[in-house]
Chain A
């Protein structure tokens, strides 16, 4: 139900902006851009859900994104091509770079988690410190300079430079829809097999319809965003072919969005279907009870922060690839956007409650607000004033809604 409310809010927002921009908001091009702009914050918001669910906070995600981005920029432009002599454009460069980045991200995250879990320093303080430290480590590593251009294969993870193409996107969309419906159905069957009450068929059917419309609708939109003719021409020239006259090719699903989907699906499975996920929620609900049930809550904290660091590095790949270079201010203010996305998405700061899809929807709503206002021509200060107010309002609505339901 909450999900429906958020989707409703998002749809109203989109339609509203579309009216105010004379139909420029709901164009394939804009929706395509909206999705690739959301990815970086949305990926981190998924990790932030686990952090906030366990009653912690991470203020360092933007800075960590900057550090991992800097590490990867240096790795792919300096370390591998020149110092290790692989040369520019080597086909393994992007892979090694990403592995290094993810590893560093996870290690820094684990270090934060160790300080929070084992040294029992409050996460607010650890990550506030981390915010200053990592932002400036990134600065120091790059001497504050923009590093680029990045490896050409690496750029595929940014959005426009790497999409699946139309047929693959349709296939993937159909496949994903099938999987989602199968998952719903098998969950229902498992309950029915034990004779437990199941949700009414219409509720499940609504759910299935929403999923199918969302997935296939998105595929339809990104497929109808045609690659500009000039660009297409250049792509053909690069392959030494001549572009057929009047050819129209859609972009299809961006690889970065695919990464977000993979992250979201895996973390949803982790949250609902693994012990690790169960312990995260138990610890958030009652840390003492979790400890008394034999859960190693300290190690759990390390793992959660390591996961957060890992996801920051994933976001760093997407963000720096989208910009085609590493800039010194990359990820600035992302910590606030990420926390806001998780909270708008229904993650309770008191712990124990939160969903991955909620956080992604939260990120999407915020990005839609921001770009919509920019398109309407709202001044920059007002944009932030509105986003800030919406954050507070969303949480208030959530509180009222939960009180009505009688839950805490």
Chain B
């Protein structure tokens, strides 16, 4: 119904070059009690590619990516990075594999300031082994100047920040440490239009650096703009994965709502 977005970046991803995908999640299943939150879902991601994850509330998107980020342990399935199977049993394993995550809940320690949150778990230390607050604050100021130039509250606990400011801290934390694989779970949920545009620019920039991004977003337009492919989930199952170039907004919407592939009849 609507013309394809004109400023969309051309797909210059590693896909189709014959190299193995950056990440491959195969037949992932995980259930909580009786509920199958994720049921035999397979998705993959190539370097420099943005893959959108779509689905209604409770479809299992966050759960799926939490398996990759080490927050949850899968019941079945396999994760391959660069074609090699890896064990990710906790968030530290994920970090070792250069996987960084922006969680839907942001996962910030509210009582600490932006700098401490940015470096949480990876503090810079002085030769004596003490944390080097001044050096970390300097780094934090640098990255925040890029992401959110208006940000000034460096010495307040993040509980004193606005939702958008908190979000930029969470984004800074994922971007700062040279991720190869970036997971963004609704990164723009609390952002104003201007800040949302900055995140979009950031995604383009990271993509150009060859980083692979899983992007969860409820905004179909944003997904159409930013993503190369989209995987749609419904009730824990994968509906299908499509090339954004081959589909329209309506196709995606009907996949989300009806749970059917474009051109396919509803079951």
Of A191, A282, A292, chain B has the most CB atoms within 10 Å of the CB of: A292
CA distance A353 to B91 in the complex (A): 25
**B90 contacts which chain A residues (CB < 8 A)?**
294
Residues of B within 8 A of A11 (CB): none
**B120 partner residues in chain A, CB cutoff 8 A:** 278, 282, 289-290, 293, 295
Q: Which residues of B contact A284 (CB under 8 A)?
A: 111
- In the complex, whether B107 has a CB less than 8 A from a CB of chain A is yes
Binary contact track B77-117/A, C-beta < 8 Å → 1, others 0: 00000000000001110010000010101111111100011
Identify which of residues 122-176 in chain B touch chain A, using a CB-to-CB cut-off of 8 Å: 122-123, 125, 129-131, 133-135, 137-138, 154, 157, 159-160
Q: Is B108 touching A275 in the complex (CB atoms < 8 A)?
A: no
A407 CB, nearest partner CB in chain B, Å: 7
Minimum distance in angstroms from A74 CB to a CB of chain B: 38
B69: interface (CB < 8 Å): yes
**Smallest CB–CB gap between B211 and chain A, Å?**
20
Query: Is A285 an interface residue, CB under 8 A from the partner?
Result: yes
Residue among B69, B109, B160 having the largest count of chain A Cβ atoms under 10 Å: B109
Is B199 close to A, CB under 8 A?
no
Please name the residue on chain B nearest to A53 by beta carbon: B111
> How many residues does chain B have at the interface if contact means C-beta atoms less than 8 Å apart?
35
Whether B131 and A281, one on each chain, are in contact in the complex, defined by CB atoms closer than 8 angstroms, is no
Contacts of A231 in B (CB 8 A): none
Q: Separation in Å of the A21 CB from the closest CB of chain B?
A: 41
Main secondary structure of the interface of A (DSSP, over half): helix
Residue of A nearest to B134 (CB): A190
The closest CB in chain B to the CB of A287 belongs to B109
Q: Say yes or no: A285-B109 contact (C-beta < 8 A), given A291-B91, A407-B159.
A: yes
- Flag if B123 contacts A293 (CB, 8 Å): no
> Are B131 and A278 neighbours in the complex by a CB distance under 8 Å?
yes
- The answer, yes or no, to whether B71 is at the interface (CB within 8 Å) is yes
Measured in the bound complex, the distance between the Cα atoms of B129 and A352 in whole Å is 23
Q: A239 interface residue, CB < 8 Å from B?
A: no
Residues of B close to A193: CB separation below 8 A: 134
* Contact status of A286 and B109, CB under 8 A, knowing A193-B134, A292-B101, A408-B159: yes
Q: Which residues 102-157 of A have a CB within 8 angstroms of B?
A: none
Among B92, B105, B125, B133, the one with the most A-chain Cβ atoms within 10 Å of its Cβ is B133
B16: interface (CB < 8 Å): no
Q: How far is the CB of A179 from chain B (nearest CB, A)?
A: 15
What CA separation (Å) do A295 and B157 show in the bound complex?
Answer: 19
Q: Are A408 and B110 in contact (CB under 8 A)?
A: yes
Q: Given the known inter-chain contacts A273-B130, A274-B131, A282-B120, please indicate yes or no for A288 contacting B111, CB distance below 8 A.
A: no
Q: How far is the CB of A324 from chain B (nearest CB, A)?
A: 40
Per-residue CB contact flags for chain A residues 380-408 toward chain B (1 = under 8 Å, else 0) read: 00000000000000000000000000111
Across the interface, A407 reaches (CB within 8 A) one of B117, B121, B154, B157, namely: B157
Q: In whole angstroms, how far apart are the Cα atoms of A275 and B136 in the complex? A: 13
Q: Is B134's CB under 8 angstroms from A286's CB?
A: no
**A286:B110 contact, CB within 8 angstroms:** yes
A369 CB to nearest B CB, Å: 30
> How far apart are A320's CB and chain B's nearest CB, in angstroms?
35
In this assembly, does A230 line the interface, its C-beta being within 8 Å of a C-beta of chain B?
no
How far apart are A393's CB and chain B's nearest CB, in angstroms?
24
Q: For residue A287, give the distance in angstroms from its CB to the closest CB of chain B.
A: 9
- When distances are taken between beta carbons in the complex, the residues of chain A under 8 Å from B109 are 281-283, 285-286, 289-290, 352
List the B side residues contacting A283 at CB < 8 Å: 109
Residues of B within 8 A of A295 (CB): 120-121
Please tell me which one of the listed residues B107, B131, B159 contacts residue A293 in the complex, with CB atoms under 8 A apart: B107
B129 touches A274 (CB 8 A): yes
Q: Give the residues in chain B near A406, CB-CB below 8 Å.
A: 160
Within A248-301, the residues touching B (CB, 8 Å) are 269, 273-275, 278-279, 281-286, 288-296
For residue A196, CB closer than 8 A to chain B, the reply is: yes
Distance in Å: Cβ of B170 to nearest Cβ of chain A: 10
In the complex, A271→B90 CA distance in Å?
26
A294–B91 CB distance below 8 A = yes
Question: Would you call B92 and A288 a contact (CB within 8 A)?
Answer: no
User: In chain A, what residue has the closest Cβ to B101?
Assistant: A292
Residues of A within 8 A of B138 (CB): 194, 196
Known: A275-B125, A293-B107, A294-B92. A281 touches B112 (CB 8 A): yes
Q: What chain B residues lie within 8 Å of A292 (beta carbons)? A: 69, 71, 91, 101, 103, 107
* Nearest-Cβ distance from residue B144 to partner chain A, whole angstroms: 13
- Known contacts A193-B134, A194-B137, A294-B121; is-contact A285 B160 (Cβ 8 Å): no
Q: Give Cα A198 to B71, complex, Å.
A: 39
User: Looking across the interface, which residue of chain A has its beta carbon closest to that of B130?
Assistant: A273
Which residue of chain A lies nearest to B103 when distances are taken between CB atoms in the complex? A292
Q: Are B108 and A289 in contact (CB under 8 A)?
A: yes
Binary interface encoding of chain B residues 56-86 relative to chain A, with 1 for a CB under 8 A from any of its CBs, else 0: 0000000000000101000000000000000
List the B side residues contacting A293 at CB < 8 Å: 91, 107, 120-121
Q: A292-B101, A407-B160 are in contact. Are A285 and B110 (CB under 8 A)?
A: yes
A284 to B157, CA, bound (A): 13
Residues of B within 8 A of A289 (CB): 106-109, 117, 120
Name the distance in Å between B91's Cβ and chain A's nearest Cβ.
5
Q: Please measure, in the bound complex, the distance between the C-alpha atom of A346 and the C-alpha atom of B101, giving whole angstroms.
A: 34
> How many angstroms from the CA of A294 to the CA of B98 in the assembled complex?
13
- For B91, list chain A residues within 8 Å (CB): 291-294
When C-beta atoms are compared, the residue in chain B nearest to A190 turns out to be B134
> By the criterion CB–CB under 8 Å, are B116 and A282 in contact?
yes
Distance in Å: Cβ of A15 to nearest Cβ of chain B: 35
Q: List 10 A-B contacts (CB under 8 A).
A: A191-B134, A196-B134, A196-B154, A274-B130, A289-B107, A290-B121, A291-B91, A292-B107, A406-B160, A408-B110
12 more contacts with CB within 8 A, not counting A275-B123, A283-B109, are A194-B134, A196-B154, A274-B130, A275-B125, A275-B131, A284-B111, A288-B107, A294-B91, A352-B109, A353-B111, A406-B160, A408-B110
Nearest first, the 8 closest Cβ-Cβ pairs linking A and B are A285-B111, A352-B111, A285-B109, A293-B121, A289-B107, A294-B92, A190-B134, A282-B109
